[in-house]
Each structure stands twice: as C-alpha cells, then as structure tokens.
Amino acid sequence: MSTETKIRPLQESDKDDWRCLWTAYLEFYETTVSEEVYETSFARLLSSSDNEYKCLIAEIDGNPVGLAHFLYHRYMWSVEDTCYLMDLFTDPGVRGKGVGRALIEAVHATAKRDGVPSTYWQTEEFNYKGRMLYDQVATKSPCVIYEKSD
C-alpha cells in the first residue's frame, strides 16, 4: 500500500501534535514563544476569522507530519488580498517525500479558491534546502526586507 500525504485544516484535536510540530519549526529558527503565544495562536488559528492566520496540517498514514500557517491581508495595489505564508514545517523524518511542496500548493490553492490570487513567503538567504524547493514552485523577488523595532 502506497504512502500518501493528505493535507487538511487544523482541528481542535491536533493541539498536541500542532504544538510539537510548531516547536520544532521554531527551533530551526533558534527561537521560542511563550505559553501565552501557544494558547493565543491556537485559538486564533481555529477561529475562522478573516484576519487571523489559518493552518493546514499534512498527514502521512494518519500522522501529522507538517504544518503551514498563512494569513490573508490587504494589498494596496489591488482590490484582492494577498496571502502570506509565514510558517512552513515538515518533520525531518519524512523529508524528501514532497510534504513541503504539497503544503505550499495546498495553501496557494486554498487562497485562490478564497479569491486571493498570490501567496508569498520569506526565508533566510542561506536556507538552501528550502530554497531548492521554493525555486521550483515560486519566483524569488528582487526585494530585501528592513525591520525596525527599537
């Protein structure tokens, strides 16, 4: 029997698995979030509100092995919103099976179905493994990003 990746929306019962996957993702970026952020974020993801992040879960054989967090938000240059894919993670144990690609495609398809024509994301310039995939499914922007938080 062939192994298949299934992509589906986050549900209430995913809480422990979701937390585990997201924590592994945050570790990759060498960051952590507070307990309050875990609680607030999970509630927001399940809220079905227009202005909250949504979450898709990737499953293999019924086991959650990846996630994507994405947000629709206004875009000044068009009437339609744009979609920001902020977090994308696949369990290292199932890398190379197309889970990341399936999640990106599912986010983009979901956005288009919701009237949001384009999806964008950021990644570190030296995230070579990620970029090998991203170069295949998307276009690198000529832009750089500046951040101000002081």
List residues binding a second copy (CB under 8 A): 26, 31, 33, 36-37, 40-41, 44, 50-53, 69, 71, 73-79, 84, 86-87, 104, 108, 117-126, 128-129, 131-132, 134-135, 137-149
Q: Give the count of beta carbons closer than 10 Å to the beta carbon of residue 16.
A: 9
Q: How many CA atoms lie within 13 A of 111 on its CB side?
A: 26
The DSSP call for residue 83 is: E
Which CB sits closer to a second copy, 59 or 75? 75
CB of 32 to a second copy, least distance (A): 9
CB of 3 to a second copy, least distance (A): 25
Q: Give the count of beta carbons closer than 10 Å to the beta carbon of residue 88.
A: 23
Angle formed at CA 19 by CA 107 and CA 96, multiple of 5 degrees:
55
Which CB sits closer to a second copy, 15 or 118? 118
